[in-house]
Structure 1
Amino acid sequence: MSVPIPDSRPFFARPRAVLAVATLCCLLWGSSYPSIKTGYALLGIAQHDVPSKLIFAGYRFLIAGLCLVVLALLLKRPALALTGRQLRQLTVLGLAQTGLQYVFFYIGLAYTTGVRASILNATTTFFSVLLAHFIYRNDRLSPRKAAGCLLGFAGVLAVNLGGATLDFAFTLHGEGFIVIAALVLSAASIYGKQVSNGMDAMVMTGWQLAIGGLALLAGGYATGGTVGNMSFAPALLLGYLSLLSAAAFTLWSLLLKHNPVGTISMYAFLIPVFGAALSALFLHESILEWKNLAALALVCAGIRLVTRAPK
């Protein structure tokens, strides 16, 4: 009788752990689409009220970041022992991954549906593949990856087709900003992977969220924004959004730290699936239109093809 050999790999490098943790992260991020739009409605934030959207986002990420920093201190992590170089890296990461990305994301989400936004935001995977081609020598754009990117962008085209006339329904401040947010996130994630190699993932995530949140708050208040009536329901929703950000970003950073980018990126196809399903459930948006179903299928197929390990 053979004795099983214990798995000596770190927890976040074990296949079953990767599957469970990555799926949980995608579920949390997918739930943010209906949650954010519900928050707009509860706080009475109008579609054109960009400053108030920035404040709403700023409080979310500042709370999430500070919670992680406090937790890191309680766990004896070096949350305050940061060098000048690390502070500069965290500032750049926070302003890009949390600040700039969510400026585009929150504004874009106000001008499109949660279903469409969740599908369009999945283009992060394809941007990551294209950027990796120019950054990493061992991650070039192969014919298989190129075909996957084409499928993914075909999904973007499909979800933006209009009604029976098949017009192209695309606006810069709606669908366009969601795609720009995906591009910013893919670039920032590659940079974040490099930063995490020399820093604790929880500490890195906490500070970058807090710095990005402060930047969003400053921009929102400086341009006349307000969060309106922060009663129990929107406060509870804000708390949930903060917790999901803290948990998902930390877990995803740990996965990226212990695994190749391509291995983890393959799970990103679950985000538009969860996002579209939850938006349809809680916002009563239509998901059973042919263009939504076609776009989901194309995006998921493209991501799977891009991130599939070569035989």
Structure 2
Amino acid sequence: MSVPSATLGSRDSVRFFTQPKVLVLVATVCCLLWGSSYPAIKIGYALLGITQNDIPSKLIFAGYRFVLAGLLLLILAALSKKPVFDLNRRNGGQLMLLGFTQTAIQYVFFYIGLAYTTGVRGSILNSTTTFFSVLLAHFIYKNDKVSPRKALGCLLGFVGVMVVNFGDGLFGFSFNLLGEGFIVIAAFVLSAASIYGKRISQSMDVMVMTGYQLGFGGVALLAAGYATGGSLHGFTLGSMALLAYLALLSSVAFTLWSLLLKYNQVGKVTVFNFLVPVFGTVLSAICLNENIMELKNLVALVFVCAGIWLVTRSAQRATGYSKAGAVLGRGRG
């Protein structure tokens, strides 16, 4: 009896993406790309003359980025003979919801928040995605519960987030809702949407799913930006190259990350988010001349990284890596 090629392909993908070395390498590449987005976005604001308070133009900037990223992925999917147009009403609704949350809503908060805080702070605060994912997975997946070690890891991570918001004085606390607050909200939205995307990916090609969700989200951002009076002008070769890089970054990172989430437990993948603040702080310091050597930044990084190390150590001891049969048998559940 012959085995369908799609099933064989799925089993090959499971074996590949659940290998520890592959998981580490691919997750690290994704985090490096996302870490580079913090200085890249701020440089884009400067190149295009987008001021701090010009929120509509920020949405347009984000919209073009994600529309380009989505189109790029869908073109590649079509050239690879993937089922780009094989969508029904249910699939279409799921993709629109995913694009609206994971791309549009999340990046509304992210782009605005990043304009009101530093790249270093933003990258550290956005690492709360890891802890939100761990907590949400506890209530959604029976095999991904919060253990005492995970709970301690989450606590340390949030302590790190608190530390980075201390002012110059010992008891000074600096927290701006439009800045730090919006970055944390964006992290929560991304966590919830990523878990929803994991569910959709069980019955849909990941490249097609990512292309549509980025495209739908980008269109929503463009519509919101133009409807509220935003505009972009003064494009140069440098600003267009930067926009192209951000689009490529999104398409590659989101696709690879979605593949990892599809074939691994949520906690095992999202734990690598601790690399985003590391890459983000270093690249922001290099590209934006921001001060990475503040004691509070270093202490915050230590707490965040220690917290995520505890989470991943707990996950590896408790369950090991996902097996092909378990993933293939889960279906749409």
Pick the TM interval, shorter chain: over 0.9
TM-score in terms of structure 2 length: 0.90
Taking the TM superposition and a 5 Å limit, the aligned residue runs for 1:63-82 are: 63-82=68-87
| Structure 2 residue 36 is the aligned partner of structure 1 residue 12 | no
Q: Which amino acid aligns with 1:280?
A: A
1:253-274 alpha-carbon deviations (Å, 9 max, x no partner): 1111111111112211111000
Cα distance in 2 for partners of 1:142, 1:201 equals: 30
Percent of pairs with identical residues: 65
Query: 2:194 aligns to what?
Result: 189
1:42-90 alpha-carbon deviations (Å, 9 max, x no partner): 0000000000000000000000001100100000000111111110100
Query: 2:138 aligns to what?
Result: 133
List structure 1 segments (4+ residues) > 6 angstroms apart after TM superposition: none
Query: 2:323 aligns to what?
Result: none
Query: 1:4 aligns to what?
Result: none
For the Cα contact (< 8 Å) 1:201–1:254, is it kept in 2? Answer: yes
1:130-170 alpha-carbon deviations (Å, 9 max, x no partner): 11121122222211111111100000000000013441100
Structure 1's unaligned 5+ residue stretches are 1-6
Tell me how large the CA RMSD over aligned residues is. Answer: 1.2
For the Cα contact (< 8 Å) 2:144–2:265, is it kept in 1? Answer: no
| Structure 2 residue 297 is the aligned partner of structure 1 residue 292 | yes
Cα distance in 2 for partners of 1:165, 1:227 equals: 42
Cα distance in 2 for partners of 1:97, 1:266 equals: 18
Cα distance in 2 for partners of 1:208, 1:10 equals: 26
Cα distance in 2 for partners of 1:305, 1:85 equals: 39
| Structure 2 residue 238 is the aligned partner of structure 1 residue 203 | no
Shift of 1:310: 2.6
Q: Which amino acid aligns with 2:83?
A: P
Match of 1:232 among 237, 242, 263: 237
| Structure 2 residue 305 is the aligned partner of structure 1 residue 310 | no
For the Cα contact (< 8 Å) 2:137–2:267, is it kept in 1? Answer: no
Structure 2's unaligned 5+ residue stretches are 1-10, 319-333
| Structure 2 residue 104 is the aligned partner of structure 1 residue 99 | yes
For the Cα contact (< 8 Å) 2:158–2:304, is it kept in 1? Answer: yes
Query: 2:327 aligns to what?
Result: none
Taking the TM superposition and a 5 Å limit, the aligned residue runs for 1:1-311 are: 10-308=15-313, 309-310=316-317
Q: Which amino acid aligns with 2:208?
A: V
Q: Which amino acid aligns with 2:38?
A: Y
For the Cα contact (< 8 Å) 1:265–1:307, is it kept in 2? Answer: no
Q: Which amino acid aligns with 1:19?
A: V
Cα distance in 1 for partners of 2:267, 2:177 equals: 29
Cα distance in 1 for partners of 2:43, 2:257 equals: 25
Cα distance in 2 for partners of 1:166, 1:31 equals: 32
Look up the SS of the partner of 1:138 in the other structure.
Answer: coil
Shifted more, 79-88 versus 235-244: the winner is 79-88
Cα distance in 2 for partners of 1:255, 1:190 equals: 12
Cα distance in 2 for partners of 1:266, 1:51 equals: 33
Q: Which amino acid aligns with 1:100?
A: I
For the Cα contact (< 8 Å) 1:25–1:251, is it kept in 2? Answer: yes
Cα distance in 1 for partners of 2:283, 2:271 equals: 21
Number of aligned residues:
305
